[in-house]
């Protein structure tokens, strides 16, 4: 089983940028935690982070034959039709993750352009959201669900 973990703009600054909102863990630390959990589950994970919308679209398309996708599109969550269209086109089961509770923040963050093409959304649990997303995807895929 192969799962792509995709992170959008400014997530490379985790641990330094607004730690009260996003947590003190760096992206590297989150990736180590997710990789450790994936190893215990026997799942291959690959991590991609980009501050560029087109690079995120490219990564989605390049991994269209993978089993699942975890995506924290960051600010692109609220604006990117291109990322939503790419997710819809590849039809890989995807879980949308947000470190903060986007519904407890500014009103513009309450809208997700990618939610309609994702299997589900996890928000507000910090790095634990990635672990939960991995567990949920592995469970779904192990049960034979692909769409």
Residues designated catalytic: 22, 98
Q: Are 59 and 50 in contact (CB under 8 A)?
A: yes
According to DSSP H, which parts of 1-147 are helical?
A: 19-22, 27-41, 53-62, 81-90, 128-142
Distances (CA, A) of 18 to 7, 13, 25, 53, 92: 17, 9, 11, 22, 32
Q: Measure the CA–CA gap between 80 and 117, rounded to whole angstroms.
A: 12
Q: Token pair of 81, please?
A: 């039709």
Q: Measure the CA–CA gap between 40 and 103, rounded to whole angstroms.
A: 32
């Amino acid at each position: 089983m192969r799962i792509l973990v995709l992170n959008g703009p400014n997530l490379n600054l985790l641990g330094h940028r607004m730690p009260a909102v996003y947590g003190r863990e760096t992206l590297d630390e989150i990736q180590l935690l997710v990789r450790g959990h994936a190893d215990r589950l026997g799942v291959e994970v690959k991590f991609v982070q980009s501050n560029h919308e087109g690079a995120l679209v490219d990564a989605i398309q390049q991994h269209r034959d993978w089993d699942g996708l975890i995506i924290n599109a960051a600010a692109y969550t609220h604006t990117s039709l291109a990322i939503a269209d790419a997710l819809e086109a590849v039809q890989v089961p995807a879980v949308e993750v947000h470190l903060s509770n986007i519904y407890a923040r500014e009103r513009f963050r309450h809208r997700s352009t990618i939610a309609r093409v994702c299997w589900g959304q996890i928000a507000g649990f910090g790095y634990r959201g990635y672990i939960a997303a991995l567990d949920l995807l592995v469970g779904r895929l192990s049960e034979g669900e692909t769409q």
